[in-house]
Amino acid sequence: MNIVILLGAPGSGKGTVAGRLASEHDNLRHVSSGDLLRGAVAKGTAAGQEAKGYMDAGKLVPDALIATMIKDVVAETTGDVTMLLDGFPRNVAQAEILAEMGAPVTGAVLLDVADEVIFDRIAGRRTCPKCKAGYHVKNLPPKVEGICDKCGEKLTIRKDDNPETVKDRLVVYHQQTEPLIAYYRERNLLKTVPGVGDLSAIVANVLAVL
Ligand code: ATP
Ligand code: MG
């Protein structure tokens, strides 16, 4: 197993692109730190209870909390697969933890999207709480309004997708996550893909650099 990290601002399309790639290619797995955490919150586990306040405020949860979850998934994943890691690492300390986990990081793909675009994207975002599929009311609407194409569940708006929290999430991204661009560039692992325009083209461009 090897790992390719997806970097990019909240709403840059990491989950959408990785979800699509994983559904189209048997050897690709999508692992989203946000989905793992929201799953823990929904289940009410101890980790979920600890994480909830940070997530609702748009802050990062403690490194050790999310690192433990990622470690478990990495340990469970074997064979000839590439893990598309979406949302982890989120700061340099987490990148160091990941480097020590054993599985080789063979690339870091930055989905490049300007902040102005992010607000509109997140404002229109709808999420399937069951299968985690993502939609946008204008750019990527489901076939039936408010209903997930894949599993028929009612779509929801994430609690941290309100404009105030999005602003805070972008500040956190620029301060804490953006230094990872230089971190992976220095290690010759960084690939940058424009994250705007036709979704199929973005997906194809990411696949081409994996
Ligand atoms: P996207 O909009 O692409 O889903 P996002 O960063 O806004 O990206 P998630 O990745 O779903 O949203 O993360 C939601 C929240 O979960 C974050 O705001 C943070 O509180 C927490 N979180 C997720 N991954 C990490 C991480 N690696 N370290 C710390 N906190 C994390
Ligand atoms: Mg996501």
Assess whether 90 carries a catalytic annotation.
yes
Residues 6+ apart with CB under 8 A from 66: 33, 36, 37, 51, 88, 90, 94
Burial category of 186 from C-beta neighbours within 10 Å (exposed 0-12, middle 13-18, buried 19 and up):
exposed
- What angle do the packed helices 92-99 and 179-186 form, to 10 degrees? 40
Options 3.10.100.10, 1.10.287.1260, 3.40.50.300, 3.30.565.10; CATH of 2-209 = 3.40.50.300
pLDDT digits (tens, 9 = 90+) for 123-159: 999 999 999 999 999 999 999 999 999 999 999 999 9
- Name the token pair of 173: 């991204």
In angstroms, the CA 68 to CA 1 distance is: 18
- The sign of the torsion formed by the CA atoms of 187, 188, 194, 195 equals negative
- Name the token pair of 67: 């690192």
Where do we find the tokens 């991204």?
Answer: 173
Which residue among 30, 55, 70, 176 has the greatest number of ligand 1 atoms within 8 angstroms of its CB, and so is best to mutate? 55
Q: What confidence score (pLDDT) does residue 153 get?
A: 97
- The residue-averaged pLDDT of 20-44 equals 97
In angstroms, the CA 159 to CA 145 distance is: 20
Atom 6 of ligand 1: nearest residue by CA position: 10
In the chain, what is the greatest distance between 2 CA atoms, to the nearest angstrom? Answer: 46
pLDDT digits (tens, 9 = 90+) for 5-24: 999 999 999 999 999 999 99
Nearest C-alpha neighbor of 118 from the set 12, 197, 7: 12
**C-alpha separations of 167 from 65, 131, 142, 179, 189 in Å:** 24, 27, 26, 18, 29
Which residue among 52, 61, 164, 206 has the greatest number of ligand 1 atoms within 8 angstroms of its CB, and so is best to mutate? 61
Give the ligand at the shortest distance from the Cα of 161: 1
Ligand 1 center–CA 150 separation, angstroms: 23
Boundaries of every domain in the chain: 2-209
In this prediction the pTM is 0.93
Instruction: From the candidates 90, 121, 126, 132, give the one annotated as an active-site residue.
Output: 90
Q: What confidence score (pLDDT) does residue 164 get?
A: 92
Which residues does a 6 A CB cutoff place in the pocket of ligand 1? 10-11, 14-15, 33-34, 37, 54-55, 58-61, 66, 87-88, 90, 94, 160, 169
